[in-house]
Chains A and B, each alone.
Chain A
Amino acid sequence: MPANAVTAPESAPLKSPILLIPLSWFVPGAGHFLLGRKGRAAIIFGTVLLTFLVGIAMRGTLFHPTDNGDVLSRLIQFGGYIADMASGVFYFAAVFMGYGPLDVAGYAPDYGAKFLVAAGLLNILAIVDAYEICTRQKD
C-alpha cells in the first residue's frame, strides 16, 4: 500500500434507500438498526410504540378517508389516515385486532387520536433521518 494512500473512514455500509425506507416505515427504528445505530433504533421503536399505546389506551379514534362532509373535513380525515398509517406495524396490528374505540364522552379520546397521529408523524421524522444517514448526508 503506498504511503500516501487515502483510506476511507470507518462507517456503516451504504444500504439501499429503496429497501430502507419501507422497512423503516413498517417497523419503526428498523432503518437505524440496519445502519448500525442500534441505540437510536431502540429509542425510536420504544418512543413510537409508547405514543401509539397511549393513544390506544385513551381510546383515540383512527382516521378513515371519507366522501362525506366539506373539503376541509375530508382533507383532515385523509391527512389523519396517512399519519395513522405511518406508524407501520402498530397501525396494522390495531386494525387486524379489530380496534375500535368505545363511544365515550370526554377529552381523553380526542387526546388519544392526537397521540395516534403523533406516533406516525414521529416515525416519519425517523424515516427521514434514516434516509439521510443512508445517503451520507449526516452521521
Chain B
Amino acid sequence: MKLDHFETTILFALVCSVILGLVTKKTDEERLRYGLYCFGCFMAALFGIGWAMRLLHG
C-alpha cells in the first residue's frame, strides 16, 4: 500500500477520531460532535505544524 504523508495522516486522524468520539461521550449526538471536533483538531495540527515546518525550514 502506497499512501503519501497527507493521505496517511488523514486516515490516522479518522480512525483515532472515531474511537475517541465513541468512548468518551454519553449520547450519540455528543459522540458525533466530539468525533468531528477531534478530527478538526487533528487537521488543525496537521496544517499548523506543516506550515510551521515549511516556514522554519524555508
Contact = CB atoms under 8 A, between A and B. Distances in A.
A111 B8 contact: yes
Interface string B1-32: 11101001001100110111011001000000
Interface string A96-139: 00000000000110010011001000100110110000000011
Contacts of A27: none
A124 B11 CA distance: 19
B19 A47 contact: yes
A76 interface: no
Given A47-B18, A118-B16, A122-B15, A108 B23 contact: no
Interface residues of B, number: 15
Contacts of A138: 26
Contacts of B23: 125-126, 128-129
30 contacts: A43-B22, A44-B19, A44-B22, A47-B19, A48-B19, A51-B15, A54-B1, A57-B1, A58-B1, A58-B3, A58-B8, A107-B5, A108-B1, A108-B3, A111-B3, A111-B12, A115-B12, A118-B12, A118-B15, A118-B16, A122-B15, A125-B20, A125-B23, A126-B19, A126-B22, A126-B23, A128-B23, A129-B22, A138-B26, A139-B26
Given A122-B16, A126-B22, 18 more contacts: A43-B18, A43-B22, A44-B19, A47-B15, A50-B15, A51-B15, A54-B1, A107-B5, A108-B2, A111-B8, A114-B12, A115-B12, A122-B15, A122-B19, A126-B19, A129-B22, A129-B23, A139-B26
